[in-house]
Amino acid sequence: MKIAVLKEQEAGERRVAATPDTVRKFVGLGASVAVEAGAGAGASVSDADFEAAGASVGARQDVLADADAVLCVQGPDLGSLEGMKKGALLIGALNPFGRRERIDVYAAAGMQAMAMEFMPRITRAQTMDILSSQANLSGYKAVLDAAAEYGRAFPMMMTAAGTISAAKVFVMGVGVAGLQAIATARRLGGQVSATDVRSATKEQIMSLGAKPIFVEAVAGIEGEGAGGYATEMSDDYKAAQAELVSAHIAKQDIVITTALIPGRPAPRLISDAQIATMKPGSVIVDLAVEQGGNVEGAQAGEVVERHGVRIVGHKNVPSRLAADTSALYARNILNFLTAFWDAEAKAPVFPDDDEIVLGVRLTRDGKVVHERLLG
């Protein structure tokens, strides 16, 4: 089995789909690994590090020639995959809904494309879950990005010259990213509150030492909901939530929004009128900006100012911590392939009826086969 690791071509993408650590493991399993020159540069991994781990390093066409599996972060354009073997695996964060047209092209080219972000949220697949590993670090970085834009300190400080009060931080959406944002803001000394539509998060918020702010008048989602995800809320709920946010947000210094609904645009949680009630110098970080945004006026890839409030909309936040996010992402892929590794064949063998395989496999034998893509 030859595994190819590509250098990412998307602008601003610094991550890489393998590390020397995972290369060593693949080589130990009997695979050969070829890494495109410069693939690790954005994540502080040199070609020499990959070579020392047992990989060969070369130009894209040499790396792709005869490869049985191609590992990537973002889905590559077909044109850049020239020379790739029919039937080869293409494994990465292929963005099946956002880049649907590419999936058709992968199918037509005879590839077996597997989308890691479709990994089912089941216990057996936790170590392969790229959404969790990347969101975790995004939640952390969102707080640091807010701190960097904020012209004040986070912790309360008592100095000889006077007292500085603690920053009030409000986290909206308490999934993986939100939980890490709460923990990070607490570590920095912020006074943290948080909200979600899923009632199960209330206890999690309190266990991190933050204050839950919840809509009480209209029922939210009891328990964990389908697969632990939120759904679109009723108009009554949205109205009650808007009222609650209006009352709370004017007193906040920092707001971090992370709310997502799978397969839908991100819910709008903060309006321009609500931003206008915040103190000048406050900061909002919208982690959902690339999915349509939780915050009115947020711009993907920009920091904009509205009513004296800075709205941070960085694109691809995981890439801003590329060394760590790459290490976790590469581990997720390693864990996925080793879970199906056949020691004799020295290659993964994917049973057709396995929940994980059914979850991630998009294309096969020239066709798109995933039910979520076939509608």
Nearer to ligand NAD, 172 or 185 (CB): 172
Nearer to ligand NAD, 346 or 372 (CB): 372
Nearer to ligand NAD, 111 or 213 (CB): 213
Q: Report which DSSP code applies to 225.
A: -
Nearer to ligand NAD, 178 or 297 (CB): 178
Residue numbers annotated as active site? 121, 126, 129, 132, 229
How far apart CA 67 and CA 1 sit, in angstroms, is 7
178 neighbors 242 (Cβ within 8 angstroms): no
SS3 257: strand
Q: Which residue has the tokens 């609904």?
A: 261
| Residue number with the smallest Cβ distance to ligand NAD | 175
Closest residue by Cα to residue 185 from 97, 277, 177:
177
Nearer to ligand NAD, 136 or 363 (CB): 136
Least separation in angstroms between residue 259's CB and ligand NAD is 4
Contacts of 69 (CB under 8 A, 6+ apart): 1, 2, 3, 4, 88, 89, 90, 91, 337, 348
Take residue 117 and report the two structure tokens written for it: 């972000």
Least separation in angstroms between residue 211's CB and ligand NAD is 15
Instruction: Determine the straight-line distance between the first and last CA of the chain, rounded to whole angstroms.
Output: 34
**The pairing of beta strand 191-195 with beta strand 168-172:** parallel
β-sheet with 56-58: strand ranges across = 56-58, 32-36, 2-5, 69-74, 89-93, 112-115
Nearer to ligand NAD, 102 or 198 (CB): 198
One DSSP character per residue, 181-195 reads: HHHHHHHTT-EEEEE
Closest residue by Cα to residue 92 from 118, 56, 65:
118
Q: Which residues of this chain interact with ligand NAD, rule CB under 6 A?
A: 121-123, 126, 129, 131-132, 135, 172-178, 195-198, 201, 224, 228-230, 233, 258-262, 267, 269
Residue type, 60: R
